[in-house]
Structure 1
Amino acid sequence: MTPSPVAPGAAAEFLAAHPPFDALDAAELAALAALAEVEEHAAGATVLAEGAAPPAHLRVVRTGAVEIVHDGRVLDLLGPGELLGHAPMLAGLPLGFTAVARGATTCLRLPGPAVRDLLGRPAGLRYVTRSLLAPPRTDLGTPDPAQRPVGELLRAPLCTAEESTTVREAARRMTACGASAVVVPIGHGRVGILTDRDLRTVVADGVDASATPLREAMTAPAWTAAADRLGGEVLLDMLDRGVSHVPVLGAGGELLGVLEDVDVVAATTRSSVGLRTRIARARDVDEVVAAARELTPTIVALHDARVAPADIAGITSVVADAVTRRLIELATPEAPPRPLTWLALGSLARREAVPSSDVDSALVWVGPEDDPVAAAHARDLAARVMAGLAAAGFRADANGAVATNPLFARSYEAWAAAARSWLHDPTQEKAPILVSLVVDARPVWGARQNPAVPDVFRDARRHPDLLRLLGRYALAHRPPTGFLRDFVVEHSGRRRGRLDLKRGGLVPIVDLARWAGMAAGVTGASTPARLRAAAAAGTLPAAAAATLEEAFHLVLGLRLAHQVDQLRAGEDPDDLVRPADLSAVTRASLREAFRAVASVQRRISAELDLGMR
């Protein structure tokens, strides 16, 4: 159909009443409204067709409603003020749905280039990612960027400059090549970055852009991502770090391009931004607890929407981070006596949490271990935060791996000394367990410039005794592959006749991935990322790594589905399933997965016995 003009004043008034346009100032809103056109669609008319090229325009439903249809099913109904076609437009992907007018409908049509910058701003990203509780957003027919390597998601042109280049010249280059960031190589595989948002800050601060070199204005060293990391993993890190651009490096450390958050968010069906925002705005612990209670129905809704289990686990972990962060902020209105960092450990650190997951945590401060003020502050903070987490439904680790335990609240110097002692003498009591916990550690709150405790283990390859001991520790958990319907089940108590998906299914894979990742020089990372790194470094055969990763996703999916059923029934989630309750196909798949993991374990065990590792 042919669009017709619309009065700018009427368009501006309408847009101003709806997000993300309500975040625009008057001048920006007027400029955008002047470009608006109106489309009229009869009842049943196709507004956008599945399989068509990415739309060049964004549409906003003005009157009536638009059905989102895929495979003959109505997935969503968009009403006045809701955006249509923004995801495929931003991602540059064909439409994975058909949009059909329900009754007589009008839409405002806005040129893509005019709205791309808006959707890249915080207000736009909040709209695009929306709340976790929002209904499915229709992008089911398009390739999911969350499951694609970020090297495949690069679309923006690469713009580079030298450290001595002035800020003004860098801005000219960014404009000339249509980029929203300039990257500056600074040696040793590191880069700096200056984004368009940084430029606005520079201007607002009154810096002389014509005389100031990039080295004084850029962020350096910039956080980077490897090209083979999955989009969902990188997006979670970007949200956690509060960055909108990340330079992407190839296997050899070469600069491939810059990934923007909208490149991933554009077609990602869910994110945690809405829930995280409510948690971040909570004024007291009670409001944090109230917001955190939304996580359970959210997980159920995401599972029903067929969001990938790994993505749901990542979202669960990010929400737990947000709760922890806000509780710390409420407990520490003033700066701590020593720079302090709160660490997530275990499944939360790997972003593999499910509803039954415990909260493992640790505290690190910079300064002497015997500083009584720092130690007292750490104890008080840990007690308040752990109490808040418990009220919000996050259980503390039953084995004592929590920040309230003095063993897990130390100065950085004490942590580093302990880690080095484990490297040199891995036979110490509980050393394999403590190394396994610490190497997973990920900072949740605090000064990121502080040294990272897991980094002490980056040279674990130079300590074969430790790796050999960790290898044997990883082999201690064997998958169940015999007896009742081809599974080993528990024989007593409430566990009788049940299969433990965590202990028998996930733990063997997680432990193997951690050991192989450390042998490859990788410390904190997700289990799939460790397996891919191990395959790339040769510490695991590529086929073995692929087998373990496939088994990981299968068991994680079964574990999550089991716990969602329990949540629906009002039960406390656990990891115990009855093999008889599984379908024949699921039992067969699980049996083959366990056997494949056991086969990998036997091969590694033989190599360790022969001293090959």
Structure 2
Amino acid sequence: MAVAPLDDARRRIAAAATESDLVTAAATAHDAVKQVIDTRVGAASVAEAWSAVARAALSTAARLVAPGMDWYASGSVGRGDALPGSDLETVVVRSSEATAESALAQAAHVHDLLACCGLRADDNGAIASRVRFNRTAQDWAIGIGRWASDPAADRGVVMIGLLADAVPVEPVLGGNMDLRDQVGIAARAQPVSLTAMLQDSTFARAYIPSRLRVLTSGDAGVDIKLAAVDPVVRIARWAALSCGSDALPTADRIAAAAGTRYLDADDARVLAKCHAIGSSIRWRVRAASWNSDVDVDERVELSDLPPQDRTALRSIGRELTGVRRKLDYLASTSTFSSW
């Protein structure tokens, strides 16, 4: 099996009995990435295996340092889309008996330990050592209700998206409902929240420069994640929330929503293709200069890519623009009015 070295590292991480054992086991995971690169395994298989490694590391770190709290991995790690070098988003449900100060201190210790394992915290600060992402079950329930009813306030769209991608790394304690289940129910009960999620998913944050733009501006740089992968992730998340799917990986979300009123079959095929090709190019770029000690730079110069990758990225840009425009138009009609 091509990703067997990563699977072996994951088992060592899960079995670690001390912080030192965990750091040592995590080092084997980073070494395993080099072996996986040599086998030229596909991006989807690498992402699934690496996400499992990262979740195992979070679970073990929490067990060693901060037991008694429900820990969730979110973002690409939660979805199962994370490539080696990806950052880690976390949220915590703490006991009502625990003080905020002690829970935050424990969470900070967990992330310090994970940093020693080569797993960096989310660049945007979506981590459980911050009070926004470290709450009691009651506080989370109140927040979810507020974000769903008024997604424009208090970064509601961001929080809904974060929780929609959140997966517990161990069984949830005390009979609490999974946060992802809660946010799905709340979002589908509030049409305004799904409308806001759609608007967010079709907003273009980055572009793949055309040949004309490169010639006129001289700017041939592109952030592959922002321009080619993230737009599909956001649309797939909205579609899965809307149709009630509990799928997590982006490809599975697209498949679950395909043929529904939210995503027709043709658009689903386009999005699946864009995600697969964009992720593959992103992984090849990352693998070519893999160094676990250096932060990943998602921005590359188009001139540094093979001609076929440049062509593929520009095609993705055109395809995504078309899907965005179509969804924006449908949102302006009665197509999604049953929300």
The TM-score with structure 2 as length reference comes to 0.90
For 1:569 and 1:366, the matched residues in 2 are separated by: 35
Partner of 1:257: none
Contact 2:43 2:83 in 1 (8 A): no
For 2:266 and 2:156, the matched residues in 1 are separated by: 30
Does the alignment pair 1:538 with 2:261? Answer: yes
| Match for residue 450 of structure 1 among 159, 176, 179 | 176
Cα drift, residue 306 of structure 1? 2.5
Partner of 2:73: 344
Cα drift, residue 343 of structure 1? 0.5
Partner of 1:106: none
Instruction: Quote the RMSD (CA, aligned, Å).
Output: 2.5
For 1:569 and 1:291, the matched residues in 2 are separated by: 14
| CA deviation profile, 1:100-145 (whole Å, cap 9, x unmatched) | xxxxxxxxxxxxxxxxxxxxxxxxxxxxx7xxxxxx5xxxxxxxxx
Q: How does 1:194-593 map to 2 (within 5 A)?
A: 270=4, 272-332=6-66, 336=68, 340-367=69-96, 371=97, 373-447=98-172, 449-459=175-185, 460-477=187-204, 480-484=207-211, 497-523=220-246, 525-567=248-290, 572-593=295-316
Cα drift, residue 536 of structure 1? 4.6
Cα drift, residue 357 of structure 1? 1.4
Cα drift, residue 310 of structure 1? 1.0
SS in 1 for 2:76: helix
Q: How does 1:171-186 map to 2 (within 5 A)?
A: none
Cα drift, residue 505 of structure 1? 1.2
Q: How does 1:62-101 map to 2 (within 5 A)?
A: none
For 1:581 and 1:315, the matched residues in 2 are separated by: 28
Contact 1:516 1:531 in 2 (8 A): yes
SS in 2 for 1:606: helix
SS in 2 for 1:277: helix
Structure 1's 427 and 420: CA in aligned 2 closer, same or farther, altered over 3 A?
same
SS in 1 for 2:123: coil
For 1:407 and 1:579, the matched residues in 2 are separated by: 38
Cα drift, residue 427 of structure 1? 2.4
Contact 1:479 1:598 in 2 (8 A): no
Letter in 1 for 2:65: A
Partner of 1:83: none
Partner of 1:148: none
Structure 1's 303 and 485: CA in aligned 2 closer, same or farther, altered over 3 A?
farther
Contact 1:480 1:489 in 2 (8 A): no
Partner of 1:172: none
For 1:546 and 1:349, the matched residues in 2 are separated by: 23
SS in 2 for 1:445: coil
SS in 1 for 2:258: helix
User: Identity over the aligned pairs, expressed in percent?
Assistant: 28
Cα drift, residue 566 of structure 1? 1.5
| CA deviation profile, 1:141-187 (whole Å, cap 9, x unmatched) | xxxxxxxxxxxxxxxxxxxxxxxxxxxxxxxxxxxxxxxxxxxxxxx
Contact 2:209 2:220 in 1 (8 A): no
Unaligned runs of 5+ in 1: 1-128, 130-135, 137-268
How many residues of Structure 1 are paired with residues of Structure 2 in the alignment? Answer: 334
Contact 2:172 2:178 in 1 (8 A): no
For 2:171 and 2:292, the matched residues in 1 are separated by: 39
For 1:305 and 1:279, the matched residues in 2 are separated by: 22
Cα drift, residue 314 of structure 1? 1.3
Cα drift, residue 609 of structure 1? 2.7
Cα drift, residue 279 of structure 1? 1.7
Cα drift, residue 452 of structure 1? 0.5
Cα drift, residue 597 of structure 1? 1.4
Does the alignment pair 1:608 with 2:331? Answer: yes
| CA deviation profile, 1:278-325 (whole Å, cap 9, x unmatched) | 223334222211221222332232232132211101111111112112
Structure 1's 535 and 294: CA in aligned 2 closer, same or farther, altered over 3 A?
same
Partner of 1:178: none
For 1:570 and 1:375, the matched residues in 2 are separated by: 33
For 1:295 and 1:318, the matched residues in 2 are separated by: 11
For 1:488 and 1:366, the matched residues in 2 are separated by: 58
Cα drift, residue 523 of structure 1? 4.6
Structure 1's 520 and 387: CA in aligned 2 closer, same or farther, altered over 3 A?
same
Partner of 1:594: 317
Cα drift, residue 482 of structure 1? 3.9
Considering fraction of residues, name the structure with more helix.
2
Unaligned runs of 5+ in 2: none
Considering fraction of residues, name the structure with more strand.
1
Cα drift, residue 378 of structure 1? 1.9
Contact 2:73 2:167 in 1 (8 A): yes
For 1:453 and 1:572, the matched residues in 2 are separated by: 30
For 1:287 and 1:488, the matched residues in 2 are separated by: 53
Q: How does 1:41-190 map to 2 (within 5 A)?
A: none
The structure with the larger Rg is 1
Q: Larger relative contact order (C-alpha < 8 A, sep ≥ 6)?
A: 2
For 1:436 and 1:458, the matched residues in 2 are separated by: 10
Contact 1:279 1:322 in 2 (8 A): yes
Cα drift, residue 479 of structure 1? 5.5
Letter in 1 for 2:140: W
SS in 1 for 2:16: coil
For 2:125 and 2:217, the matched residues in 1 are separated by: 25
Cα drift, residue 476 of structure 1? 1.2
Cα drift, residue 568 of structure 1? 5.8
